[in-house]
Chains A and B, each alone.
Chain A
């Protein structure tokens, strides 16, 4: 038997889950299990209670609501990847998902699980940070909405109290035809990123940067927005030299993580390279859309 003994709870409603969270000591929510189960198998985590939220029907779903996309926290990563709605209106999310583990893990893994686990090298938190997503939490003491910018409170520490449940995510959509790019560096396809960048770009009629959002992963305790690079690009024509200069600021403005996979300096260098690649992809897409519609 790999995980140590625990009590297993299988609620069927959010209300039941919140009651369990409020009353049980030392409880862990089991979503897709692609992070919690390995940690339990290796006994890094030994919760007294496991609350399996896989049977709560209304926690999963993808819905376009005006200019936002609403996603249930228990929506499987694979379902998001295959969703025509996501591909059409949130293509950055689709592209990033192809880098999240493998089909076999995306089949079980959930968007909410990734956000709540908050691995410093995960792809989805960076995408949602670039998109200024809002996270909707439910709790018996009241519900809360947390901006993605406020989500990471430190290493693998989301802004989520032990008695709260991440129920849904809303992603404000960018205008049709916006450019996007996701670039990451991994030793093997499907690994966590050593550094990765999510880029969103919208150009005005003159081809100048109307709006830009850049977020990097794998280089700090959580996803980081590159506000200096965004400011450099805004209102300017995104020529090669400007993109290169903006990307270079990534190496300065991120702290970098030292670990067994690479030094802080190396990751900062990678962050700059990935930022440049993501921006170039976003620019190419923004320009081709402009040509198609303009």
Chain B
């Protein structure tokens, strides 16, 4: 089979067709081919969590997937979260609770917490910490991230109840 392959997928709601080298990782495809540099690369062996994105609604390390494996999938990155500049409740909570400092780990953390809040709408602090164990942050000490996650969960629940 050829070293290049046609790839069709949806990224942040946009349908994309691109011919890519088969050895290109999904992370490098997002960054280098689509210029979506919000997805960061730290360790490139699946440990740090910086490159975490949502693939069909589930988090995945984009450094551990080949781009061609995402053929037919719906990928969401940090660029696909805010709509017309309006932050999601989760992103807003990060602003309000000092959920980031340097910001390097933030896109991966947001992907993880997006899946968490969809899976467990009312998470305990232990749940949040358990899920965050897959994302390494070296500057916040995590407390701000945990606070932001719990505040976002509450805001989303109250928002849903108010509708």
- Complex contacts, A54 vs chain B, CB 8 Å: 69
Q: Are A103 and B59 in contact (CB under 8 A)?
A: yes
Interface residues of B in 50-66 (CB under 8 A from A): 52, 58-61, 63-66
Q: Residues of B contacting A105 with CB < 8 Å?
A: 46, 61, 64, 134
Q: Is B19 located at the chain interface by the 8 A CB criterion?
A: no
A88 at the interface (CB under 8 A from B): no
- Confirm or deny: A293 has a beta carbon within 8 angstroms of a beta carbon on chain B: no
Contacts of A87 in B (CB 8 A): none
A6 at the A/B interface (Cβ < 8 Å)? yes
* Interchain CA distance A30-B68 in the complex, whole Å: 12
- The reply on A108 being an interface residue by CB < 8 A is yes
Please state if B61 and A5 are interface contacts (CB–CB under 8 Å). Answer: no
Q: Is B130 part of the contact surface with A, judged by Cβ < 8 Å?
A: yes
Within 8 A of B (CB), among A93-109: 101-105, 107-108
A84 on the interface (CB 8 Å rule)? no
Verify B69–A1 contact, CB threshold 8 A.
Answer: no
Judge whether A33 and B1 touch: CB under 8 Å: no
Tell me the nearest residue of chain A to B71, going by C-beta.
Answer: A10
Asked if B58 contacts A107 (CB within 8 A), the reply is yes
CB of B3 within 8 Å of the partner chain: yes
A190, B132: Cα distance in complex, Å: 11
What's the Cα separation between A5 and B1 when bound, in Å?
Answer: 12
The yes or no answer to A141 lying at the interface (CB within 8 A) is no
Q: Do residues A38 and B3 form an inter-chain contact, with CB atoms below 8 A?
A: no
User: A111 CB to closest chain B CB, in angstroms?
Assistant: 17
Question: In this assembly, does B24 line the interface, its C-beta being within 8 Å of a C-beta of chain A?
Answer: yes
Interface string of A101-129 (1 = CB under 8 A from B): 11111011000000000000000000000
Q: Which of B28, B63, B116 contacts A1 (CB 8 A)?
A: B28
Which residues of chain A from 1 to 59 have a CB within 8 Å of any chain B CB? 1-10, 30, 33-34, 37-38, 41-42, 50, 52, 54
**Which DSSP category, helix, strand, loop or mixed, fits chain B's interface?**
mixed
Chain B residues bordering chain A, tally (CB within 8 A)? 33
A38 to chain B, nearest CB (A): 3
A103 near B134 with CB under 8 A, answer yes
Asked, given contacts A2-B28, A38-B46, whether A108 binds B66 with beta carbons under 8 Å apart, the answer is: no
Task: Pick the residue among A7, A41, A101, A188 that contacts B1 (CB under 8 A).
Answer: A7
Task: Kindly state whether residue A140 has any CB partner on chain B within 8 Å.
Answer: no
Which residues of chain B from 116 to 142 have a CB within 8 Å of any chain A CB? 116, 130-131, 133-135
B136: nearest chain-A partner, CB-CB: A188
Cβ of A189 under 8 Å from chain B = yes
Tell me the bound Cα distance from A292 to B108 in angstroms.
45
A190→B1 contact, CB < 8 A: no
| Binary contact track B1-37/A, C-beta < 8 Å → 1, others 0 | 1110100000000000000011111001000000000
Q: Residue B49 at the A interface, CB < 8 A?
A: yes
Counting chain B CB atoms within 10 Å of each CB, which of A3, A10, A50, A108 scores highest? A108
CA distance A232 to B44 in the complex (A): 46
CB neighbours of B59 from chain A (8 A) = 103-104, 107
Inter-subunit contact A3/B45 (CB<8 Å):
no
B65 touches A108 (CB 8 A): yes
Selected from A9, A30, A37, A101, the residue in CB contact (under 8 A) with B63 is A37
Instruction: Specify which of B23, B65, B66, B133 is in contact with A102 (CB 8 Å cutoff).
Output: B133
User: Nearest chain-A residue to B115 (Cβ)?
Assistant: A103
Q: B79-117, CB under 8 A of A: which get 1 and which 0?
A: 000000000000000000000000000000000100110
User: In the docked arrangement, what's the CA distance between A9 and B25, Å?
Assistant: 16
Is A78 interfacial (CB-CB < 8 Å)?
yes
Contact A6 B134 (CB under 8 A): no
Query: Quick one: closest B residue to A98, CB to CB?
Result: B130
If A37-B63, A103-B131 touch, whether A8 touches B22 (CB-CB below 8 Å) is: yes
Check B65–A33 contact: CB distance below 8 A.
Answer: yes
Q: Taking A6-B22, A41-B44, A78-B58 as contacts, is the C-beta distance between A108 and B5 under 8 angstroms?
A: no
Chain A contacts to B: CB under 8 angstroms: 1-10, 30, 33-34, 37-38, 41-42, 50, 52, 54, 78, 101-105, 107-108, 188-190
Can you list the 5 inter-chain pairs with the closest CB atoms, starting with the nearest?
Answer: A102-B134, A38-B45, A8-B22, A37-B64, A104-B59
